[in-house]
Amino acid sequence: MSRTKTVFITGATSGIGLHTAIQLAQKGFRVLFTGRDIQKIEAVRRQLENITPAGHVGYPAELTSMREASQVADAVRQDAKHLDVLISNAGGVYQKRVVTEEGLEATFALNHLAPFVLIRRCIPLLEAAAPARIVVVSSHSHYSARVDWSDLQCEKKYQPLLQYANTKLMNIWFSKVLDERFAGKGIRSNALHPGVVRTGIGYKNTNLLGRAGWWLFTRIKGIEPEAGATTSVFLATEPQGIEVGGKYFSNCREKQPSPAALDGVQAEKLWEISEHLENKVFQ
């Protein structure tokens, strides 16, 4: 008898992550997921149990905090013996520069350093399930990234959309290095753009003008969150998600990312700096 497959998804209490969780539960997965609001987490857990009673678990975690990212990985290690798929989906953008208690700029902390801390702590669970997959939700906006290595925390200048684009480029770099390091152990990692999706992302951590702009942009160009989950579900379940690694997908197809995204030297540099930042937080 084949065992139930397990997926761990960050940020599954709304938007793309929620619909990824629903679609994977419909395919018979046991879903472990994070959120930050206890009531939303419990509502999602019940919704998933109604689809397939598989012992789904939701974990509260504020993912601008590396301590909470680490604690959630510990909790997952307690509850699961293996992970077939890990989907790094939680993300957002802070309109104004916010510095966390750990001294990190919040958009960088949430979109890049939390996945860096959390995914690496889950590697033994992925290895236990090999062949296993890591799916990193990046964005088309990475094409407009301009990473200033001398100011990753934006102490000199903070431009929210640029910092968002930079962290989405970092997602592709991180996924690429993960694949290089762990493909030999049967873990493949790919990044993706989900489409322009009508979610609440552009209504959070912003002002009225920002919310109005997001509403208009997504009314004109956006797809519904159900459709926004398609490429994440594709990489989590279809053979391509395990046959190739270090790639960038859009609309369930491999796509050429920006030239910067292919730069292995910068990708390695980010890994080194991230280890250093992580060590500083946990010293």
Ligand X SMILES: NC(=O)c1ccc[n+]([C@@H]2O[C@H](COP(=O)([O-])OP(=O)(O)OC[C@H]3O[C@@H](n4cnc5c(N)ncnc54)[C@H](OP(=O)(O)O)[C@@H]3O)[C@@H](O)[C@H]2O)c1
| Residue 63 lies near ligand X (rule: CB under 6 A) | yes
Whole-angstrom distance, CA of residue 217 vs CA of residue 214: 5
Q: At 216, list the tokens.
A: 């208009």
Nearest alpha-carbon partner for 264 in 173, 192, 188: 173
> What letter would DSSP give residue 113?
I
Is 129 or 261 the residue whose CB approaches ligand X more closely?
Answer: 261
| Residue 274 lies near ligand X (rule: CB under 6 A) | no
Q: Judge contact between 190 and 176, C-beta under 8 A.
A: no
Q: What is the footprint of ligand X within residues 191-210 (CB under 6 A)?
A: 193-194, 196-197, 199-201, 204
Is 187 or 197 the residue whose CB approaches ligand X more closely?
Answer: 197
Q: Is 169 exposed, middle or buried (0-12, 13-18, 19+ CB in 10 A)?
A: buried
| Residue 13 lies near ligand X (rule: CB under 6 A) | yes
| Residue 132 lies near ligand X (rule: CB under 6 A) | no
**Count of CA atoms in the C-beta half-sphere (13 A) of 202:** 18
Choose one: 9-17, 183-191, 245-253, 259-267; the region binding ligand X (CB under 6 A).
9-17
| Residue 35 lies near ligand X (rule: CB under 6 A) | yes
Conformational region of residue 176, where left means phi above 0, alpha means psi within -120 to 50, and beta covers everything else: alpha
Choose one: 83-91, 175-183, 241-249, 255-263; the region binding ligand X (CB under 6 A).
83-91
59 annotated active-site: no
Give how many residues touch ligand X by CB under 6 A.
30
Hey, which residues are catalytic here?
164
Contact residues toward ligand X (CB under 6 A) are 11-17, 35-37, 40, 61-64, 89-92, 110, 137, 139, 193-194, 196-197, 199-201, 204
